[in-house]
Amino acid sequence: MVTYSEQLHPWCIIRVLSENQHQIVARFRRQNEAAAYLQVLHNSAKTANFLLVFEAQGLQKLPDA
């Protein structure tokens, strides 16, 4: 179930840990804010893989990367 706070912040930055594991790093209301933070993460953690996704209500599947 998606919480009200998660509904208000649908843009997620996800760290890909392995093929079947991921971790939500941060949530944002606006796509441009999430993209800016993603750029900071890429610059500070060059070896980690991050994805920017829009999490629609109830959607839990990651996009193919």
Q: Residue 29: what pLDDT?
A: 93
How many domains is the chain partitioned into structurally?
1
Q: Judge contact between 9 and 31, C-beta under 8 A.
A: no
Domain membership flag for residue 65: no
The torsion angles phi and psi of 13, rounded to 5 degrees, stand at: -105, 125
Residue 19: give the domain boundaries: 4-54
Asked, for residue 27, whether it belongs to a domain, the answer is yes
The reported pTM is 0.74
64 within some domain: no
The vertex-49 CA angle with 52 and 44, nearest 5°, equals 95
Nearest to 24 by CA among 64, 62, 57: 62
Instruction: Identify the pLDDT of residue 56.
Output: 76
Amino acid letter, residue 45: A
Residue 48 lies in a domain: yes
Give the mean pLDDT per block of 10 residues along the chain (65 residues): 77 93 94 96 93 77 59
Q: What are the two backbone dihedrals, phi and then psi, of residue 12, each rounded to the nearest 5 degrees?
A: -120, 140
